[in-house]
Structure 1
Amino acid sequence: MSNVFANGLEISGKAVDAKTIADFPDVCFTPPENPATPPGVPVPYPSFGMASDTDKGTSAVKIGGKTVNIKNKSYLSKTSGTEAGAAAKKGVVTSKNTGKEYFNSWSNDVKFDGEPVIRMTDLATNNHASPIGNAPPWPHLAQLNVPGIDCESVLADLNLHKHSDKKKACDHSKTGKESEHMLGNALMQNQRGSRAQSIPGFNGSNGYSASTAPCLCMDGPSSDNSTEHGKKTRDQEAFKESLAIKDAKGKPTGRYRQPTAKEAIDAELKSVRENHNQIKNTKPKKKQDEIMECLEAVIYDNLERCSDPKQTKEEIKKTKLRVPGEGDYPAPTTTAPVTSM
């Protein structure tokens, strides 16, 4: 650990214990090669990259006396995990195994040698011959800036994942687990799919996306009140009702006030803590507290990185989110109440 951070995230460099863990699937052709399968058998492998293999990094600014990863210049000279994919063709896209790792995201405002630095959770693709990767993007892990807590191991234990990786992460057909957004998607977008619109302030070119937002695997289905996912869904419904605007006699008016991000995140994490069995059963309580601090840091980090214009954590806490409900799409506001349809 280098203790050098950008935007609250550890910076990646040759002297830093940063890594890309199990970038999957990296499909490589694997022996045997025979007339039935001339190029070999395509097998998906997990791919690993280590920041200690940094190449073409900074020359002027260094961490621990060694070069640092920066945008459009640095890469990791090799990856591992795909060695068995050694048939003549190797990677199905790049024709390489153990190829280079390139970075796909970075800090927006912290620069070394005039270029943005690479941080913990920035995306990378593995097994390159050129800058088109053979494996899909995966968060580049170093360490979240949560004092005294090893969030890297905490996140690995909980199988934190992007929603787009739900099939691999949760394996629903075998486990019955479902991918659940830690911060409900309905608080950020008016619907799912290609027509989804994110709330203003998070709708830029690198804005909020349901597919890249952080998720946990929870026992389903969400329609069953006895399951982890079902209990969290009921808590989300109760949270919406707590936002109801009432008249002088205490009767609901059919209108709702928009929650702040802090209100929503606090409520969502309380539900995760109470209903995610692995977290709920973690002992001692201090360890459970550490898990929740790391999960909170991940949610705010995701919102910071997809905000446009960029917002700090404290600014995001005050941002007004959507009122979950079919078809409503309010802009963030500090005054007018919002009707939920």
Structure 2
Amino acid sequence: MSGVFANGLEISGKAVNAKTIAAFPDTCFTPPENPATPPGVPVPYPSFGMASDTENGSGTVFIGGKTVNIKNKSDEAKTSGTEAGCAAKKGIITSKNTGKKYFHAWSNDVKFDGEPVIRFSDLATHNHASDPGQTPPFPEICAVNPAFADCVTLLNKLDMQLHEHGKKTCTHPDQSEHPLENQMMQKSRGGINYAAFPGYHKDKAPCICMRSYNLNPDGSPKSGAGSMKGAPHPMKTKANRDLLKKTAKPTVRESLDVTKQAYGDHHDKLQPPNASKDEKKAALECIEVVIVAYLQSVAKPKQNADGTTSQPSTQEILNTPLRS
């Protein structure tokens, strides 16, 4: 941790303990290679990138005596996690495994060597031979609570696995639940998607499983009239509807705050003894970062003063009014 921040977010560089955790999927062809599977078997791997592998960073301004990641210049020399995808074809898109990592978001106004710096939560893609890479954009993780250092490990430990809604595996009495509800992404319930996030799709948005039915004394789910009233998922939905009664166009920040409070109050996996107080806090922070990173990846690009375009910053995403 460097302790050097831009816009309230820690700056990423070679001396910083920053990483992209489990960018997924990074599909690589994997042995065996035989007549049945000539190029190998395509296997989706999680891909990891470390700021300690930074190259081509800042040349005049340093953190901890080492170069810093900046726009249009920096990359990270390698990624890991795909080593087993070593059949002749390797990456399904780039024909590489362990390829480079490139950044696609940065500070608007903090610059080193005349270029914007890369910060905590800025988006990156992995396993490049050239553009494009092989993974969807994932956030850079820098200064966070140590208990939150690995979102994937923590959420898996709490049995709160993130998944795309269209690939849900939740089982009754749980349902796949959008942390940022679909009603927040529409001008009216069932209406068109909000214009600030043209790439948003409910089936691709990150979700978690959440109990939707009350339980009988023996632990079995109730059925029939009233079986869902007051259950965790409906209570979270109610909290967001109550927010909309107070303000017709809440910001992403306001919606996520309501959701995090509802998760903390009602999600079974975040209640003692399933989660400690620190684990609950870290899990809620983790969910927020994942949602903001997804929104950055589907947001409408903004025009910069120099004529280039970039995705909105974390703070700009959080300040975006919904249902406009």
Q: Where do 1:109-124 residues align within 5 Å? A: 109-124=109-124
Distance in 2 separating the partners of 1:68 and 1:178? 39
Contact residue 243 and residue 250 of structure 2 kept, 8 A: no
Which secondary structure state, in structure 1, belongs to the residue aligned with residue 258 of structure 2? Answer: helix
1:123 Cα deviation after fit = 1.4
- Does 2:255 correspond to 1:258? no
- Tell whether 2:266 aligns with 1:275: yes
Work out the CA distance in 2 between the residues paired with 1:193 and 1:102. 37
- Percent same amino acid at aligned positions? 48
Name the residue aligned to 1:178. Answer: 176
TM-score (normalised: structure 1): 0.70
- Equivalent residues of 1:77, 1:101 under 8 A apart: yes
1:151/1:214 Cα in 2 relative to 1: closer, same or farther (>3 Å)?
Answer: farther
Q: How much has 1:286 moved relative to structure 2?
A: 6.0
The residue aligned with 1:66 is: 66
1:231-310 matches, within 5 Å, as 231-241=235-245, 243=246, 258=248, 261=251, 264-281=255-272, 285=277, 288=280
| Residue 154 (structure 2) aligns with | 157
Give distance in 2, aligned partners of 1:143 and 1:214: 25
Q: 1:114 to 1:175 in 2, by over 3 A?
A: farther
Residue 73 of structure 1, CA deviation: 1.1
1:228 counterpart (228, 232, 236):
232
Amino acid at match of 2:68: V
Q: Deviations over 1:232-258 (max 9, x none)?
A: 1133334445x3xxxxxxxxxxxxx53
Whether contact under 8 Å (1:26, 1:45) holds in the other structure is: yes
1:197 and 2:197 matched? no
Q: Is the 8 A contact 2:23 2:135 kept in 1?
A: yes
Q: What 5-or-longer segments of structure 1 have no aligned partner?
A: 244-256, 323-330, 332-341
Q: What amino acid is aligned across from residue 106 of structure 2 in structure 1?
A: W
Q: Distance in 2 between matches of 1:266 and 1:180?
A: 14
TM-score by length of 2: 0.73
Question: How far 1:189 moved relative to its partner?
Answer: 3.4
Moved more, 18-27 or 188-197: 188-197
Structure with higher Rg: it is 1
Give the 3 Å change call, closer, same or farther, for CA 191–135 of structure 1 in structure 2: farther
Which residue identity lines up with residue 235 of structure 1 in the other structure?
A: A
Shift of residue 267, structure 1, vs aligned partner: 3.5
Partner of 2:76: 76
In 2: Cα distance, 1:226 partner to 1:268 partner: 16
User: Residues 94-173 of structure 1 correspond to what in structure 2 (within 5 A)?
Assistant: 94-144=94-144, 150-153=147-150, 156-158=153-155, 165-166=164-165, 171-172=169-170
> Which residue number corresponds to residue 337 of structure 1?
none
Name stretches of at least 5 consecutive residues in structure 2 with no aligned partner. 214-226, 304-311
Match of 2:236, SS?
helix
- TM-superposed CA distance for 1:153, in Å, is 4.2
* Cα distance in 2 for residues equivalent to 1:50 and 1:297: 18
Secondary structure of the corresponding residue to residue 149 of structure 2:
helix
The answer to whether the Cα contact below 8 Å between 2:50 and 2:79 also exists between their aligned partners in 1 is yes
1:232 is paired with a residue whose SS is helix
Task: Kindly provide the amino acid, as one letter, of the partner of residue 240 in structure 2.
Answer: Q
Measure the CA separation in 2 of the matches of 1:127 and 1:175: 39
64-73 vs 211-220, which moves further? 211-220
Q: Count residues in correspondence.
A: 297
Change over 3 Å in CA distance of 1:192–1:104 after alignment to 2: farther
Aligned residue identity for 1:158: L
Query: Residue 178 of structure 2: SS of its match in structure 1?
Result: strand
Deviation at 1:172, TM superposition (A): 3.1
Q: Is the 8 A contact 1:29 1:85 kept in 2?
A: yes
Asked if structure 2 preserves the Cα contact closer than 8 Å seen for 1:188 and 1:208, the reply is no
How far off its partner does 1:263 sit? 5.8
